[in-house]
């Protein structure tokens, strides 16, 4: 694949500060070289390598890599350009109100919560019914999650286990306050998150590393999907 450049992130940061809708016309070659081509190449390689492992996932490869916002989404005084790019692959949800466990890659140099190059997997901001199902699965038997997070291959990619990005202030109602995994039960998203160092982002083996990350994240997604579809009394 075409490598990302040390100039990729500065270009996105600069784009997000522009006010002229014609700015990209003057910088089209830089955009193609630094942003769009390597991003689309990465998406295609992820699909080719991971689709056999995640047959019912949708991996977007078309219409991606765009940084110019639709005109109707540009607020007064805002830049017509995004300063970030992301790619998400998941099973079809079947509902407008619920997500499914996903694989996520983001170039987010200007995002306050997730600043940097991010690879993640899991379930982001589940619906209330989904949250209850996963919390109940953890309360009933968190063993599979503990085993996964202790697994050598998984730990090599996501050493910290579940992210504590958003957590309930109080213990959720209906759960034992002394449960040994209450920290997980209080989570509002069930994700693993990894920040990629700049040197790895621009290396020739970057796509290979993301594929290895996603291969392990799929194991967590399978556990979460099992929790979402299990019949529990």
Element counts in the chain: helices (H) and strands (E)? 10, 4
Question: Which single residue is written with the structure tokens 């910088």?
Answer: 27
Rg of the chain in Å (alpha carbons): 19
If you average pLDDT over every residue of the chain, what do you get? Answer: 94
State pLDDT tens for residues 7-52. Answer: 999 999 999 999 999 999 999 999 999 999 999 999 999 999 999 9
Position 231 confidence tier, pLDDT thresholds 50, 70, 90:
low
Strand order in the sheet with 85-90: 85-90, 102-108, 116-123, 190-196
Averaged over 79-98, what is the pLDDT?
A: 92
State pLDDT tens for residues 135-182. Answer: 999 999 999 999 999 999 999 999 999 999 999 999 999 999 999 999
The contacts found for 25-31 with CB under 8 angstroms, 24 or more apart, are 31/67
Rounded to the nearest 10°, the torsion over CA 222, 214, 212, 141 is -30
Closest listed residue to residue 219, CA positions, set 195, 187, 186, 192: 192
CA distance 109 to 193: 16
> What's the pTM?
0.94
Averaged over 63-67, what is the pLDDT?
A: 93
């Amino acid at each position: 694949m075409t490598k990302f450049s040390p100039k990729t992130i500065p270009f996105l940061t600069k784009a997000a500060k522009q006010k002229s809708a014609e700015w990209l016309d003057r910088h089209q070659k830089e955009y193609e070289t630094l942003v769009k081509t390597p991003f689309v190449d990465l998406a295609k390689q992820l699909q080719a390598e991971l689709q056999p492992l995640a047959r019912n996932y949708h991996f977007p490869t078309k219409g991606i890599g765009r940084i110019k916002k639709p005109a109707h989404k540009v607020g007064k005084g805002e830049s017509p350009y995004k300063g970030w790019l992301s790619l998400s692959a998941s099973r079809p949800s079947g509902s407008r109100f619920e997500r499914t466990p996903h694989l996520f890659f983001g170039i987010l140099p200007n995002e306050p919560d997730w600043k940097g190059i991010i690879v993640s997997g899991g379930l982001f901001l589940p619906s209330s019914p989904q949250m209850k199902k996963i919390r109940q699965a953890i309360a009933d038997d968190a063993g599979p999650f503990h085993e996964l997070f202790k697994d050598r291959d998984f730990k090599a990619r996501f050493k910290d286990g579940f992210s504590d990005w958003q957590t309930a202030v109080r213990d959720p109602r209906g759960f034992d306050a002394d449960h040994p995994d209450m920290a997980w039960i209080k989570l509002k998203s069930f994700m693993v998150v990894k920040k990629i160092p700049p040197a790895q982002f621009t290396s020739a083996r970057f796509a290979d590393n993301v594929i290895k990350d996603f291969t392990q994240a799929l194991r967590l997604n399978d556990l979460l999907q099992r929790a979402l579809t299990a019949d529990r009394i």
